[in-house]
């Protein structure tokens, strides 16, 4: 959903260096990311640890049928983001199969993500608002005039439901995480397996 062909971090990194330890940014291999690379970083951040397989599932939910994430596209990007210092990976035991590789953000990757989102949050909301208005206008006018009023009411109801769902799915920070009963690792409440030891979360 990010505007622009590339997300440029050069100025952001310089500003962040003045606020926190400069050394943490020395490992970053580049200062620009594509919107897809940035979306992958956001998705991994929101899950803390994520396997490539689960990332692909999450991305396909995120894009809601408008684009399909495939392993041939995503795994090379993961390797590149790891090489460039935005991600790190480790192998974890799975109760239902072999070791699997999971990804998390590095400290500079997390700092630059938070900074970029914080800096552009209101602009991104305005972009979404403008897009919804444009899509709704086109949708309504695609119907005969005698049906447009009914379609307008349907859109209003759909938007109310959507915004209600958005507000309900932004959990307070205290409710975002839990601990694995097996290893005690802190994990998100919405995962089915511990991302550290692979135990099933009940």
Q: 126 and 96, same structural domain? A: no
The DSSP code for 48 is S
Rounded-to-integer distance, Cα 187 and Cα 129, Å: 33
Give the end of a domain, one of 86, 114, 142.
Answer: 114
What does the buried/exposed string (b/e) look like for 8-22 if buried means 16 or more CB atoms within 10 Å of the residue's CB? ebeebbeebeeeeee
Query: Into how many domains does the chain fold?
Result: 2
* Domain hosting residue 98, numbered range: 7-114
**pLDDT tens for the 202 residues of the chain, in order:** 455 555 666 676 666 565 555 555 666 666 788 889 999 999 999 888 899 999 999 999 989 889 999 999 999 999 999 998 899 999 988 767 788 899 999 988 888 888 888 888 999 899 999 999 999 999 999 999 999 999 999 999 999 999 988 888 876 655 556 777 777 777 766 666 676 677 766 6
Whole-number Cα distances in Å, 130 to 48, 69, 80: 31, 26, 33
Task: Judge whether 184 lies within some domain.
Answer: no
**104 and 28, same structural domain?**
yes
Do 89 and 132 sit in the same domain of this protein?
no
Residues 47 and 71 in one domain: yes
Same structural domain for residues 83 and 166?
Answer: no
Residue 100 and residue 195 in contact, taking contact as beta carbons nearer than 8 Å: no
Is pTM beyond 0.75 here?
Answer: no
* Residue 38 sits in the same domain as residue 137: no
Q: Do 134 and 102 share a structural domain?
A: no
Structure tokens at 161: 């439901």
d(CA 54, CA 102): 9
Question: Within this chain, do residues 89 and 162 fall inside the same structural domain, yes or no?
Answer: no
């Amino acid at each position: 959903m990010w505007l622009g062909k590339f997300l440029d971090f050069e100025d952001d990194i310089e500003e962040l260096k003045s606020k926190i330890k400069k050394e943490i940014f020395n490992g970053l291999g580049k200062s620009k990311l594509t919107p897809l690379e940035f979306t992958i970083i956001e998705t991994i951040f929101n899950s803390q640890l994520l396997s490539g397989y689960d990332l692909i599932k999450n991305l396909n939910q995120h894009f809601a049928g408008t684009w399909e994430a495939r392993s041939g596209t995503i795994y090379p990007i993961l390797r590149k983001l790891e090489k460039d210092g935005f991600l790190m990976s480790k192998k974890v035991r799975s109760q239902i199969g072999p070791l699997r590789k999971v990804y998390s953000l590095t400290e500079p990757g997390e700092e630059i993500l938070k900074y970029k989102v914080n800096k552009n949050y209101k602009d991104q909301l305005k972009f979404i608002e403008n897009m919804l208005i444009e899509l709704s206008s086109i949708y309504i006018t695609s119907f005969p005039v005698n049906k447009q009023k009914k379609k307008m009411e349907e859109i209003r109801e759909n938007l109310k439901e959507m915004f209600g769902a958005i507000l309900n799915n932004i959990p307070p920070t205290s409710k975002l995480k839990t601990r694995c009963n097996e290893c005690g690792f802190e994990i998100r409440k919405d995962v089915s397996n511990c991302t550290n030891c692979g135990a099933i979360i009940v």
